[in-house]
Structure 1
Amino acid sequence: MTATYIAIDIGASSGRLMMGCLEDEKIKLEEVHRFKNTLYFEQEYHWDIHRLSQEILIGLEKVKKMGILNCFVGIDTWGVDYCLVDDQGQLIQNPICYRDERTKEAMDVVAKQMSLQAIYQKTGIQLQPFNTLFQLFVEDQKLLAKTDKILLIPDYLGFFFTGEAVLERTNASTTQLINQKTQELDPELLALTGTNLNQWGRLVDAGTILGELTTEKFSAFDLPKATFITVASHDTASAVIGTPGKGQDWAYISSGTWSLVGTEECQPIATNESQQQNYTNELGGYQTIRFLKNIMGMWLIQEVARNYDDQFSFAQLGEMAKTEIGFQTFIDVNASEFLKPNNMVEALQDYCQRTNQKVPATPGQLARCIYDNLALYYGKEIQQLQRQIGRDLTTIQIVGGGSNAELLNQLTADVTGLTIKAGPTEATAIGNIVVQMMTTKALINLVEARDLIANSFEISTYLPELNRAEIVSNYQDFLQEGNLVK
């Protein structure tokens, strides 16, 4: 009988359970359960991890109702955030969200104790104020004193369901606590955070059997027998595994709330230039490095849609954008005021007004502004990327929800001059599932898995149509002239 695999994939705004299996030499994928993931404010912005665990149980119960009595399960989520657990295995408080402002000054304070350059050289990880290192640095020391285990979000959920505590490497690398040379937790950085090695789970690789679902603990639910596998638990790591790239001449854009622009490397690249350009060397599955840049991605369009009370779908906003004249306004999509504004529409308009530009006034103009500038930013970063890896690229594989944005895909092809391969949309869930398949020997290796993905899902191709060298030049002049609103 064909094995059933369940990918639990939770992002910053929603989560879902996706069921996968091999059928007619293709991966068959089906959504079983979807739910919202929202923040709440109680002194800080928190994730409701208990509600997320209940939604997972509801989803697994649906799996059982579909007649699936046995399955494998893998969990992936966003990175950097963590749960504090006491010696009774109980959650001390709901995890705090990386978007909370508690770490606003943390990097400056940490820099007085250890240079940021030294931290980057140790870890190869992009310096961001919300990295786990800086979150723990400002953490309540009384809570840390009560903490028996520090578990990243997917590791906590795995612990909750199986009782087994681990620290999966792809996600662990986002903490900025892993030494890039040893690939172990760095004692000096742990000391900086006020934590010790005993508070962390044992490091494991993607594709490790975690344990069995403790069904007796959840007697209120009718659950299948489930074996949990620790997959590449950082969602971007799963998305890259689920990207059907071949050879060495491709880059990826994992396009969701964030856009991750990067390549898959064998060794970290931690140079002065990579630090200055804020590139990161996150661990990927199967002895790979995700050399990438973090960009404020579809978050911008998501927030604009929300500010219009979700009157318009993303597809509708894209169609409106197509009717607008392009490249009328330039913005820095990574500007700090776009991280968590009270109102994204007003933040975009204020930015343009302060930089003496035409102010986008309609939903279509706002969407066009976002898509134009995301494409331009991608183009800038692809140039940087090629210089740092020392080789030319021919193709960009765009995966995730943003791969459905046809206008953005075409603009990216035009601006970069490269071939765009868009899809699959569900790369993260697919990457989660193929790790499970490799762990259970249904697939041999990552090359076979990516060939299978390419043959299982629709991939759209976009070729450059226009020479936008002048627009790119104007954009770069805009950035160099200091028109960035800090």
Structure 2
Amino acid sequence: MKSYIAVDIGASSGRLMLAQSKDGKIVLEEVHRFSNGFTNESNHDRWDINHLIHEIFIGLEKVKKMGINEVELGIDTWAVDYVLVGFDGNKLEDPISYRDKRTTNAVTELTSDLPREYIYEKTGIQFQEFNTLYQLYKENKELLAKTDKIMMIPDYIGYVLTGNAVTEITNASTTQMLNLRVGLFDKDLLDKVNVDQNQFPRLVESGTILGNVCHKWHQEFDIPETEVITVATHDTASAVAGTPGQGDRWAFLSSGTWSLLGTELNVPENGLAAFKENYTNEWGAYGTYRFLKNIMGLWIAQCVRHELGDKYSFGELAEAATAVKPFQQFIDINDQRFTNPESMIKELQEYCSETGQIVPETPGELFQAIYSNLSLFYANELSKLDEILGYHIEKLNIVGGGSNVALMNQLTSTLANVEVIAGPSEATAIGNVLVQMITLDEVENINAGRKLIAGSFKLKHFQPEKDKYGDILVEYQEFIKNRG
């Protein structure tokens, strides 16, 4: 029986998940969890990448102590951030976080020469100030001159583990520098940010075997024999691979720190309607495209909970929210002011005050405001998705942490008039493992894998509640339109 390890690292934490196939089902177990976060160093918010790598080895030591001597391993993380590696093979400095303020106004500056329509036609990627394109545009030019290789975060971790360097396509597509037509980094865009194609390791598909963990790490840590497989290294790509969507006309909502809402296409959609709505065509596993919208997500809830002293669980806060009437205020939760404020609670309250609305005060009021407005945003984006695609999405698969928030899932189902299928919450790790299993021929293909997932994990179903909330969505859409 093969043992698979999914290394799944997000903005606030990382974990190693052990997966095995037993009695025709995937069995998943968390073996190690560790913290993650950025700190301000040299006037920039930076990730401690060495800490993350060290924790992977600590987790692998725990796996070895479980009596497991051989494992497969895949790595997925967040997107857009990168590590600059010098000609000696070592990182030049810790990577800067996408939440760093260095890219403020970078989109406006870069697109003064290259029109947005031109960039979108080439890449199909939505405009966000933290995209790698704008990070490199603001990068220290002297540092770039010393750079041999630019590696996305999961590719760099794989490089440190095995000594082999690649650029996996699902994460590379988020840079807003891959050309949809030629399948390579676009020369015009690279020239604009003073980067050469050769500074990126070779592009590879999800499911590429990277190699074994270097011998030197076995001398330092008591770990199993480990073969690393380059999975869908962007965590959203892994989450979508781990979503048990079946048939046609289904959408996904990967609900975590960020909310990624969209559908899976075989052909990218980068026409004028998609451009105007700022939808993105991120590359997925097995020749697919994740046609989606990037939404602020549970980051707001995480910040508010932290400001409340972490004395409430998310379950307790959701329960408190159910006692509060929904839709007491309309909030554009994708507003840039909520990206990284000093106080999320204060920012939410000031927004409501500025717009002449009821100001949420208690934990229950704050969380009802968050969940109500996330649901409104999801329903609004689903209506836009219907317009672009030319048909009505009938089922929404919600995966990730948000799949556990029944209040938000039911509101979304009713507002959007879709069936919501919630779960699995661990879709990212499951998708990571699934790509490994397909690579090693334990699962035939992605469709067979999704059926396996549906039979392995408990899913919850929510149906629209008829004649409830009336024209709330229409009122919200008008509010957002008037806000510009």
Class of the TM-score when normalised by the shorter of the 2 chains: over 0.9
Matched, 1:120 2:114: no
Deviation at 1:88, TM superposition (A): 1.3
Return structure 1 stretches of 4+ with deviation > 6 angstroms: none
Q: Give 3-state SS (helix, strand or coil) of 1:312's partner.
A: coil
- 2:470 corresponds to: 469
Q: Distance in 1 between matches of 2:181 and 2:83?
A: 27
Q: Give 3-state SS (helix, strand or coil) of 2:92's partner.
A: strand
Superposed counterparts of 1:50-449, under 5 Å: 50-449=50-449
Q: Give 3-state SS (helix, strand or coil) of 1:74's partner.
A: strand
Amino acid at match of 1:420: V
Amino acid at match of 2:479: F
Deviation at 1:193, TM superposition (A): 1.2
- 2:37 corresponds to: 38
Cα offsets for 1:184-225 (capped at 9, x unmatched): 111111111111011100000000000100132452210110
Deviation at 1:272, TM superposition (A): 1.6
Amino acid at match of 1:14: S
What runs of 5+ residues in structure 1 fail to find an aligned partner? none
Matched, 1:10 2:9: yes
Q: Give 3-state SS (helix, strand or coil) of 2:74's partner.
A: strand
Q: Give 3-state SS (helix, strand or coil) of 2:348's partner.
A: helix
**What is the number of equivalent residue pairs in this alignment?**
482
Relative to the length of structure 1, the TM-score reads 0.98
Q: Distance in 2 between matches of 1:476 and 1:195?
A: 41
Q: Give 3-state SS (helix, strand or coil) of 2:28's partner.
A: strand
What runs of 5+ residues in structure 2 fail to find an aligned partner? none
Deviation at 1:452, TM superposition (A): 0.3
Amino acid at match of 1:341: P
Amino acid at match of 2:431: G
Q: Distance in 2 between matches of 1:218 and 1:111?
A: 48
Q: Distance in 1 between matches of 2:9 and 2:481?
A: 38
Is the Cα contact below 8 Å between 1:399 and 1:425 reproduced in 2? yes
Is the Cα contact below 8 Å between 1:79 and 1:234 reproduced in 2? yes
Q: Give 3-state SS (helix, strand or coil) of 1:380's partner.
A: helix
- 2:49 corresponds to: 49
Q: Distance in 2 between matches of 1:476 and 1:262?
A: 19
Is the Cα contact below 8 Å between 1:215 and 1:223 reproduced in 2? no
Deviation at 1:468, TM superposition (A): 2.4
Q: Distance in 2 between matches of 1:477 and 1:287?
A: 38
Q: Distance in 1 between matches of 2:298 and 2:55?
A: 25
Is the Cα contact below 8 Å between 1:60 and 1:224 reproduced in 2? yes
Q: Distance in 2 between matches of 1:310 and 1:137?
A: 37
Deviation at 1:450, TM superposition (A): 0.3
Is the Cα contact below 8 Å between 1:239 and 1:429 reproduced in 2? yes
Q: Give 3-state SS (helix, strand or coil) of 2:139's partner.
A: coil
Q: Distance in 1 between matches of 2:355 and 2:155?
A: 44
Q: Distance in 2 between matches of 1:65 and 1:163?
A: 25
Deviation at 1:65, TM superposition (A): 0.8
Q: Which moved more, 1:459-468 or 1:32-41?
A: 459-468
Amino acid at match of 1:173: S
Amino acid at match of 1:137: Y
Q: Distance in 2 between matches of 1:232 and 1:426?
A: 15
Deviation at 1:28, TM superposition (A): 0.6
Q: Give 3-state SS (helix, strand or coil) of 1:481's partner.
A: helix
Is the Cα contact below 8 Å between 1:102 and 1:138 reproduced in 2? yes
Amino acid at match of 1:3: K
Deviation at 1:155, TM superposition (A): 0.1
Relative to the length of structure 2, the TM-score reads 0.99
Q: Distance in 1 between matches of 2:350 and 2:178?
A: 39
Deviation at 1:45, TM superposition (A): 0.2
Amino acid at match of 1:470: D
Cα offsets for 1:397-456 (capped at 9, x unmatched): 000011001100111111111110000000000000000000000011011100000000
Q: Distance in 2 between matches of 1:478 and 1:391?
A: 25
Cα offsets for 1:59-111 (capped at 9, x unmatched): 01111111111110000000000000011111100000000010002111111
Q: Distance in 2 between matches of 1:392 and 1:470?
A: 19
Q: Distance in 2 between matches of 1:421 and 1:95?
A: 37
Q: Distance in 2 between matches of 1:399 and 1:101?
A: 30
Deviation at 1:31, TM superposition (A): 0.3
Q: Distance in 2 between matches of 1:393 and 1:351?
A: 32
Q: Give 3-state SS (helix, strand or coil) of 1:260's partner.
A: strand
Q: Give 3-state SS (helix, strand or coil) of 1:91's partner.
A: coil
- 1:456 corresponds to: 456
Q: Give 3-state SS (helix, strand or coil) of 1:15's partner.
A: strand
Deviation at 1:271, TM superposition (A): 1.4
Q: Distance in 2 between matches of 1:218 and 1:67?
A: 16
Cα offsets for 1:369-407 (capped at 9, x unmatched): 011100011010000001111222111000001100110
Residue identity (%): 50
Q: Give 3-state SS (helix, strand or coil) of 2:247's partner.
A: coil
Q: Distance in 2 between matches of 1:90 and 1:185?
A: 24
Cα offsets for 1:111-166 (capped at 9, x unmatched): 12211211111000001111000000110011111101100000000000000000
Q: Distance in 1 between matches of 2:470 and 2:403?
A: 24
Q: Give 3-state SS (helix, strand or coil) of 1:432's partner.
A: helix
Deviation at 1:38, TM superposition (A): 1.1
Q: Distance in 2 between matches of 1:39 and 1:271?
A: 36
